[in-house]
């Protein structure tokens, strides 16, 4: 990435500086393709997953020389805001499907929705996240893909949280379009990709103008960010992805944190309620590094500030994209009542997190419980 910053050429220019920039972008495309198990030409670099979503969620899909109209977008209620916004579908053409108490998409509801879809108006498109950013809950992507294909629909998978955490091959996922974000795997912010997992099918371009990204996404490439994204992908996924043993060790660390939380809340003398861990029992499991929980009576905002003062960065259950803690639409969709939802904290471990980090967190958490609920 640092090397790329010193290359001043525009990747579309013919001069040698331009060719150097082009070489960096194309190397990055190969690296990302390798990490995903697709050919480089299937990778479209974007400014992030939100742009990739706005691009993929399109009422016109191109297959070879023809254009296929898509009339309805079906999404789960726990999707990221960039999916719930519906891309280029108008609000009345977006149907939100329920999840169960574990946060798993209600497959019967999806089946009914697809069975009732009016094909005369256009194809259905289904967009679902592989793993949830608040709870870590994994969706049964293979079963969803089967249903979508049985109804000749298009399948969009938001793999932002799963990439680098769950080994997968983009071609075996059954998705037409896959969304990725660089900063979720340790790359720079402001880069991502739309992966055309079914090579011959692409959404109509979102940003039109120049012929960059094989006419899929106009605009001069962010060469350094793309280089950083691909380097991070090369380290985190594909052949360098996590083994089952490594994922097991990450889950064991997360489980030790959850056991510690329960122990602290159960200690004699404190009045904190017992913690509720969200997403436990989800049929497809949870991401190994994520725990979302609430202790009744301990507000997330208070706990978050105390933990921050102790040098520990956690999030509230809700994504606070505007800088303030909002009610979580994910927990709401899972049927969590408002009083408990405002207590929801999300703890994620990183690749370098250790047992002593978990202990430091639990020590700081014990202080909060003792102070607030004693
Ligand atoms: N999808 C999920 C599951 C996410 O967690 C995020 C970011 O938090 C996004 C999409 C949006 O990604 P970006 O910030 O790259 O636009």
Taking only the tens place, the pLDDT of each residue in 272-285 is: 789 999 999 999 99
CA separation, residue 357 to residues 180, 183, 186, 220, 366 (Å): 28, 22, 19, 41, 14
Asked if residues 10 and 19 have their Cβ atoms less than 8 Å apart, the reply is no
Domain boundary among 214, 237, 260: 237
Examine the domain organization and report whether 157 and 203 are in the same domain: yes
240 has a pLDDT exceeding 60: yes
Examine the domain organization and report whether 26 and 148 are in the same domain: yes
CA 54 to chain centre: 15
The β-bridge relationship of strands 315-316 and 344-348 is antiparallel
- 82 by Cβ neighbours in 10 Å (0-12 / 13-18 / 19+) ranks as buried
The whole-angstrom separation of Cα 224 and Cα 3 is: 8
Output the pLDDT for position 101: 98
Examine the domain organization and report whether 127 and 249 are in the same domain: no
Query: Span 267-295, mean pLDDT?
Result: 91
Examine the domain organization and report whether 190 and 301 are in the same domain: no
Output the pLDDT for position 200: 87
Number of H helices, E strands in the chain: 13, 13
320 has a pLDDT exceeding 60: no
Examine the domain organization and report whether 222 and 330 are in the same domain: no
Domain hosting 130: range is 2-237
Length of the chain: 374
Q: Residues 136-175: pLDDT tens digits?
A: 999 999 999 999 999 999 999 999 999 999 999 999 999 9
Lowest-confidence segment of 194-208, 215-229, 257-271 by average pLDDT:
257-271
Domain boundary among 177, 205, 237: 237
Examine the domain organization and report whether 197 and 337 are in the same domain: no
> Which residues face 347 on adjacent strands?
291
The alpha carbon of 181 and the centre of ligand 1 are apart by a number of angstroms equal to 6
Examine the domain organization and report whether 39 and 162 are in the same domain: yes
- Out of 80, 195, 329, give the residue to mutate to test ligand 1, the one with the largest number of ligand atoms within 8 Å of its CB: 80
Examine the domain organization and report whether 289 and 355 are in the same domain: yes
Query: Span 202-206, mean pLDDT?
Result: 97
Q: What is the pTM of this model?
A: 0.95
Q: Is residue 189 within a helix (H) or strand (E), and if so which, with residue range?
A: none
Query: Span 106-132, mean pLDDT?
Result: 98
Query: Span 189-202, mean pLDDT?
Result: 96
Q: Using a pLDDT cut of 70, give the percent of the chain over it.
A: 96
CA 206 to chain centre: 21
Output the pLDDT for position 321: 55
Examine the domain organization and report whether 95 and 230 are in the same domain: yes
Asked if residues 363 and 369 have their Cβ atoms less than 8 Å apart, the reply is no
Examine the domain organization and report whether 233 and 251 are in the same domain: no
Average pLDDT, the chain: 94
How many domains does one find in the chain? 2
- 337 by Cβ neighbours in 10 Å (0-12 / 13-18 / 19+) ranks as exposed
Band the pLDDT of 371: cuts 50, 70, 90. Answer: confident
- For residue 195, what are the contacts with CB-CB under 8 A and spacing of at least 6? 36, 38, 42, 43, 44, 170, 177, 178, 179, 180
- Out of 46, 49, 75, 86, give the residue to mutate to test ligand 1, the one with the largest number of ligand atoms within 8 Å of its CB: 49
> Cα dihedral sign for 105, 108, 109, 112?
positive
Q: Which of 127, 185, 188, 186 has the alpha carbon at shortest distance from 161?
A: 185
The alpha carbon of 157 and the centre of ligand 1 are apart by a number of angstroms equal to 12
Q: Which protein residues touch ligand 1 with a CB less than 6 Å away?
A: 48-50, 80, 82, 129, 133, 158, 160-161, 181, 192
Output the pLDDT for position 204: 96
């Amino acid at each position: 990435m640092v090397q790329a910053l010193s290359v001043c050429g525009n990747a579309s220019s013919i001069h040698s500086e331009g060719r150097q920039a082009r070489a960096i972008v194309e190397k990055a495309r190969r690296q990302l393709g390798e990490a995903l198990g697709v050919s480089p030409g299937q990778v479209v670099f974007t400014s992030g997953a939100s742009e990739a979503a706005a691009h993929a969620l399109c009422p016109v899909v191109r297959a070879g020389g023809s254009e296929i109209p898509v009339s309805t977008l079906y999404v789960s209620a726990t999707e990221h805001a960039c999916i719930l916004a519906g891309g280029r579908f108008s609000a009345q053409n977006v149907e939100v499907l329920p999840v169960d108490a574990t946060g798993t998409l209600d497959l019967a509801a999806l089946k009914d929705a697809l069975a009732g879809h009016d094909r005369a108006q256009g194809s259905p498109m289904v967009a679902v996240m592989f793993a949830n950013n608040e709870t870590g809950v994994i969706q049964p992507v293979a079963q969803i893909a089967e249903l979508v294909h049985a109804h000749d629909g298009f399948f969009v998978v938001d793999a932002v949280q799963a990439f680098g955490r769950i080994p997968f091959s983009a071609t075996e996922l059954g998705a037409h379009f896959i969304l990725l974000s660089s900063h979720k795997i340790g790359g720079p912010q402001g880069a991502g990709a739309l992966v055309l997992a079914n090579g011959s099918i692409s959404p109509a371009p979102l940003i039109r103008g120049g012929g960059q990204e094989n006419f899929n996404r106009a605009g001069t490439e962010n060469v350094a960010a793309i280089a950083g994204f691909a380097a991070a992908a090369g380290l985190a996924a594909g052949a360098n992805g996590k083994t089952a043993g490594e994922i097991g060790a990450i889950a064991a660390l997360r489980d030790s944190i959850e056991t510690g939380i329960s122990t602290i809340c159960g200690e004699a003398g404190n009045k904190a309620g017992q913690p509720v861990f969200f997403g436990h029992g989800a049929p497809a499991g949870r991401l190994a590094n994520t725990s979302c929980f609430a202790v009744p009576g301990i507000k997330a905002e208070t706990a978050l500030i105390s933990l921050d003062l102790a040098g520990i960065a956690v999030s509230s259950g809700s994504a606070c994209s505007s800088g303030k803690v909002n009610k979580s639409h994910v927990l709401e969709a899972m049927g969590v009542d408002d009083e408990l939802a405002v207590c929801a904290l999300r703890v994620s471990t990183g690749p370098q997190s250790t047992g002593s980090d978990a202990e430091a967190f639990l020590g700081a958490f014990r202080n909060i419980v003792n102070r607030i609920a004693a």
